[in-house]
Structure 1
Amino acid sequence: MARKMLIKALPAGWDVEITQAGNGVEALAAYRAGKAEVMFLDLTMPELDGYGVLETLQAEGLNSFVIVVSADIQPLARERVKQLGALAFVKKPVDPAQIEAILREYGIAL
């Protein structure tokens, strides 16, 4: 349900192929398959949580625009994901205008 809501919040004219992952292991596999130039990442996932995904991306020197989307809005969570390389932190439920502003800020073509 959360993924469907996020997809609906993406800019309408954004011409992208959307790949979904049900857990952190699947997210890393999609990234390694070249399907995650921009990754929207939840912190709470089975098998490997969002922090684990960010740690793996950082350790392997992998490169992706990562935007964390989470209901956990504690300052420590925000600080930790930024230290692990996330570009932005968006609280659930997502605001489409905020998503678009972040994408534009980082020069991601819409």
Structure 2
Amino acid sequence: MPLPIVIADDSLLARKVLTKALPPDWDVEISYASNGREALELYRAGRAAVLFLDLTMPELTGFQVLETIRREDLNAFVIVVSADVQPLAQERVRALGAVAFVAKPVTPEALLPILKEYGLYA
């Protein structure tokens, strides 16, 4: 059974780059969100065992999505993928419950160790 994942980014190009950075043989079912509100809706609908989350998005930012997940005590597995590589942003997303932070542009070499570390990919 494929693992449901959501790629949440307001940039179509960024969603495509992240999709191509995923292992080609990883058995996943990908849903896409172009803003934070859509990402939460997909998560609540059971479509996101793993949520790849950009920080700068309309409607709800990635920070707001993480705050909502925390406030509602949702058991979300979130990997933040962002161009905002400032140490403060990275610390904040981890404090809000993200398991990892990956800088854009994302590469397979950056993602694979994280997926393996958490047993998502063998």
| Residue number in structure 2 paired with 1:100 | 112
The one-letter code of the counterpart of 2:104 is K
Aligned residues: 110
Tell me, in whole angstroms, the C-alpha distance in 2 between the residues paired with 1:10 and 1:29: 23
1:40 equivalent among 52, 65, 82: 52
- Displacement of 1:63: 1.1
Structure with bigger strand share is 2
The one-letter code of the counterpart of 1:26 is E
User: What SS does the corresponding residue of 1:20 show, helix, strand or coil?
Assistant: strand
TM-score (norm 2): 0.88
1:61-100 mapped onto 2 (5 Å cutoff):
61-100=73-112
RMSD: 0.8
Unaligned segments of structure 1, at least 5 residues: none
2:26 equivalent among 7, 14, 18: 14
The one-letter code of the counterpart of 1:45 is M
TM-score (norm 1): 0.97
- Displacement of 1:100: 1.1
Misfit runs of 4+, over 6 Å? none
User: What SS does the corresponding residue of 1:72 show, helix, strand or coil?
Assistant: coil
Percent of residue pairs bearing the same amino acid type: 65
- Bigger drift between 38-47 and 92-101 goes to 92-101
Tell me, in whole angstroms, the C-alpha distance in 1 between the residues paired with 2:111 and 2:75: 20
Unaligned segments of structure 2, at least 5 residues: 1-12
Tell me, in whole angstroms, the C-alpha distance in 1 between the residues paired with 2:76 and 2:26: 17
| Residue number in structure 1 paired with 2:3 | none
